[in-house]
Structure 1
C-alpha cells in the first residue's frame, strides 16, 4: 500500500500544515473578508497531526506498512473482539477471501478515485459481490455517492450502507454543523423522492429490478460497446 500522486493536493498547497499558494492568494485578493478571517482567527491546522509535516501523500506513505498481508487479520482478531470491517476492496476475489477469513463487513471503495486512475467502479462490483458474500457479511459501498438516488440504487443492488464521502465535507466547509445538517436534509429529500417515484415505501422493498442501467455507449479498443453511468 502506497499513497497516490495526489497532484491536486500539491497544486493547492494541501499539506500539513496547509500552505498558501499563489493561486489561493490571487483568489483571495478581491475577498477582503477572507483576509480578515485569515488574520484574526487561529492558524489553520489539523488537531491530530500538529506534530507532523509534509504532504498528505507523504503522511500516508509513512503510516502504511508495506508488509501487511491477509495473515495480519488473525493478529487483529486476537486483539479486537468486536466487528472487523475492511475498506478499499476492489474485486470479487478479495471479497470472498476476506469473508472466508472472518471479517464481518467489507466496503467496496476505490478511495474516491484519487489513488489509481481507472480503478474499478464500486457500484459496478456491487451486484456480484452481494451474490457471493452478501449472506455472510455486511456489504457497503463508497465512492461516487453524490445524490440520494445513488444511495437508493446501491441499496437496491444489495448494499446495506453507503458512505457519502465528499458531500458532507462540502456542507461542512460551506456552513459548519448547519451545512452538514443541510447536506443530510438534501440527501434525505432525494432518497424519499426517488423511492416515491419507484413506488416503494420502505428500503426493504428495493430490489435489483428497480435499477435501470442507462448506458452511454463508447467504443472499446476491440470495437465492443462499453456501458457506463448506472442510474436508479
Structure 2
C-alpha cells in the first residue's frame, strides 16, 4: 500500500483501519460541525506572500518554549482515548514526538497512565489537566505528574460541560445502547481485524489510566461519558486557576481561550501561556475559527505571555500562517490522531516529518529563514 503523504491521506488510512465509532470520535465535532469546518477553511483563506531571490539555503526551524528546545514550533496536543486508536497509543505517539524533537502532551482522559507513558520515553512529557469535582483526586493527579518529571501543565478550561457531539451518539460511542446497537458495534469491530488484534485483544487494559481509581465501576466508553457528565466540574472559575497555581510550581498554560477579554484576564492572573482554541470545533459550534481569534488576542496580550494556537492545522504551511499571526507555537490534535490510527508510531513519525518538510518549503518560498522572525510581513493583506 502506498505510504500516506498528507494529513488528509492519513485520515483516509485511519478511516479504513479503525472501527466506525473510533474514527467518528476523532473526526467529528459539535452540533452541525460549522466551527470544525471553519477552523480549516479560515486557515486556507490566508494567503502567503511568495518572495524571490532571497538566500534561503539555511533555515532555522528550531525554537524554545518554556525552557524546552523544539525542533520546530509544533506540539502534539492532548487527545483523549488515543490508546484506542493503536496498541498503547499514547506511548507510541509520545515516542514519535520525542524522536522528532517535539513535546507530547498527555490528556487527562488517556488510556495509558502518565506513569506508563513516562516509562516508555526517555524525556519528560507535558500533561493536560481537566478539573473534576474531587479536589483530593486532582491534587494527587498533579503530584503524579510531578513525580513523572512533568515540567509544563496545560489547564484545559473550555469543557465545563461536554458539547453535543451527535456523531458519537449515532456511532454508539456515547448514549444508551440497545442490545442491537451493541451487536452492531461488535460486528463493526470484528470487521477491522488489524484493530481487533492489536488494540482490542492485545492492547489491554483499556481503562482510563489517569482516572482508573476515580471511576472503578466504569466498563466502557458509554459509562465513561456518563461519568464525565457527573464528575467534570462545571463550577470551575478563575479562582480554580489560583488553586492549581498553588499546587504547581512550573509553567501553566490555559487552553481553550477564544476571547480577547479572557486572554487579558489570563495574563492578569499569572498564566505563563495560553492556547487559542475552540477545542477543535468539539464544544460550542458557531464560534470563530481559532486562527480568526488569534489576531485580536495578540493585540490585547502582546508579549505579556506565550501564545499558542490549535485548530484546523493540517500542514506545515498552516503552521507558518499561525506563526505569522503571532503564535509562538502550534498544537496539532487530529493530525497525529489520524496518523496514529492509520500507522501507529511509524505513522506519527512520518506525518511529523512531512509537516517539517512542508514548513521548510513554506519558509523558503516566503523568504523566511527563521521561524522566530515570522510575522505579518509573510502574509498578503487586502489593499
Question: Could you state the TM-score of these two structures normalised by the residue count of structure 1?
Answer: 0.79
Q: Distance in 1 between matches of 2:287 and 2:162?
A: 14
| Kept after mapping to 1: 8 A contact 2:189/2:196 | no
Matched residue of 2:237: which SS? coil
Report the alpha carbon displacement of residue 15 of structure 1 after superposing the two structures with TM.
5.0
Matched, 1:95 2:254: no
200-209 or 91-100, larger mean C-alpha shift: 200-209
Report the more deviating stretch, 124-133 or 56-65: 56-65
User: How much does 1:94 deviate?
Assistant: 0.3
Residue 113 of structure 1 corresponds to 281
What RMSD over aligned residues (CA atoms) do the two structures have, in Å? Answer: 3.0
**Structure 1 runs not aligned, ≥5 long:** 215-232
1:41 paired with 2:201, answer yes
Taking the aligned partners of 1:21 and 1:150, their CA distance within structure 2 comes to 41
Match of 1:150 in 2: 318
Are 1:12 and 1:21, in contact at CA under 8 Å, matched by a contact in 2?
no
Q: 2:293 — aligned with what? A: 125
Q: Note the C-alpha offset of 1:130.
A: 1.5
**1: distance between equivalents of 2:189 and 2:284?**
30
Q: State whether residues 368 and 374 of structure 2, in contact with CA within 8 Å, keep that contact through their aligned partners in structure 1.
A: yes
- Residue by residue over 1:57-82, the C-alpha shift from the partner in whole angstroms, topping out at 9 and shown as x without a partner, is 43432332122111222222222222
Q: In 2 relative to 1, CA 36–138 (structure 1 residues): closer, same or farther, beyond 3 Å?
A: closer
1:87, distance to aligned residue in structure 2 (A): 0.5
Residues 31-68 of structure 1: CA distance to partner in whole angstroms, max 9, x if unpaired?
Answer: 6x459738993376245266424265434323321221
Shift in alpha-carbon separation, 1:80–1:110, aligned structure 2, 3 A: same
Structure 2 vs 1, CA of residues 21 and 184 (structure 1 numbering), >3 Å: closer, same or farther? farther
Counterpart residue number, 1:6 = 165
Match of 1:174, SS state, is helix
Counterpart Cα distance in 2 of 1:84 and 1:40: 35
Q: Which of 254, 258, 266 is 1:86 aligned to?
A: 254
Task: Considering Cα pairs closer than 8 Å and 6+ residues apart, tell me whether 1 or 2 has the greater RCO.
Answer: 2
**Farther-moved stretch of structure 1 (42-51 vs 169-178):** 42-51
Other-structure match for 1:229: none
Unaligned runs of 5+ in 2: 1-159, 176-180
Deviations 1:180-224 (A, max 9, x none): 10110111111111111101111123111212369xxxxxxxxxx
Distance 1:205 1:21 in 2: 55
Pairing partner for 2:230 from 42, 62, 65: 62
Structure 2 counterpart of 1:224: none
- Residue 275 of structure 2 aligns to a residue in which SS? strand
SS of the aligned residue for 2:238 comes to: coil
Structure 2 distance, partners of 1:205, 1:82, is 27
Is residue 167 of structure 1 aligned with residue 335 of structure 2?
Answer: yes
- Residue 128 of structure 1 and its aligned partner are, at CA, apart by 1.9
The one of 241, 244, 267 aligned to 1:73 = 241
Q: Tell me which structure has the larger Cα radius of gyration.
A: 1
| Farther-moved stretch of structure 1 (69-78 vs 105-114) | 69-78
2:378 corresponds in structure 1 to 210
Cα deviation, residue 25, structure 1: 3.2
